[in-house]
Amino acid sequence: MPLAMKYFTLLFLLAIASVEAALLSAETKARIEEKAKEALSFCKSNGCNTDFCILIDKKIHSGKYRMFVYDFNKQEVERMALSAHGSGKGDKQSTEEEPIFSNESGSWLTSLGKYKTGARSYSRWGINIHYKLYGLEASNSNAFKRIIVLHSYTPIPSGEIYPEHLPLGWSLGCPVTDNETMTYLDAKLQGSKKPVLLWIYY
């Protein structure tokens, strides 16, 4: 795709995201703003990118936008997306309605906490790109060992599907999103000279 076309496509996606951001509930906006303030302070103290971060609120219904790319400079959500939660297995399984969380290797569950992005690498899924993630808290300290990475999965839609949920099995613990969002994130992450904070909370 020519550079000019990529630029206009990015502008178009940002315009859509701005309209959608206006539809967020007051409660969700308040939670985002609260986390964003703490995230910026963390980024300044820990050498992470201070232009933007990725916030994922797992308390939100999986059929609604719950991944938010937050622009620290503009103090607003730049893009929103769906994000699957880990399915779990055995006697520790999430449901479509309610995720459970674990830092245990082999659990196939999402780990809560702050992560920083690492190397860009090949993925079998989605747009065939993933980013390594390093857990920065006791609740996600095994992330790299568990091969928890940021990637996309083609069946995940780019728009909300509420009241339907995302099916279980689309994540084995990774913060998985749609292909359009991953393409957008890939461009931003490649342009970042510092690790980017990704924070999964509930």
For each of the domains in the chain, give its residue range(s) and CATH number, in order of start: 3-201 (2.40.440.10)
Q: Quote the mean pLDDT of the chain.
A: 93
Q: Does residue 171 have a pLDDT over 90?
A: yes
The percent of residues above 90 in pLDDT, for the chain, comes to 88
pLDDT of the residue at 48: 98
* Position 75 pLDDT exceeds 80: yes
User: pLDDT-derived band of residue 131, with 50, 70 and 90 as boundaries?
Assistant: very high
φ and ψ at 27, to 5 degrees?
-65, -45
- Please give the average per-residue pLDDT across 79-94, as a whole number: 97
Is residue 39 within 8 Å of residue 199, measured between CB atoms?
yes
Confidence of residue 19 (pLDDT cuts 50, 70, 90): very low
Q: H or E stretch including 45?
A: helix 26-46
pTM, full prediction? 0.89
**125: pLDDT strictly greater than 70:** yes
Reduced to 3 states (helix: H, G, I; strand: E, B; else coil), residue 125 is coil
Amino acid at 65: Y
Contact (Cβ atoms closer than 8 angstroms) between residue 55 and residue 34: no
What is the pLDDT averaged over residues 11-37? 74
Which pLDDT score is estimated for 7? Answer: 57
Average pLDDT over residues 99-115: 98
The per-residue pLDDT for 20 is 52
Angle of helix 179-190 versus helix 3-21 axis, rounded to 10: 110
Q: Is the CB of residue 181 less than 8 Å from the CB of residue 159?
A: no
Q: What is the pLDDT of residue 8?
A: 57
Query: Is residue 13 scored above 60 in pLDDT?
Result: no
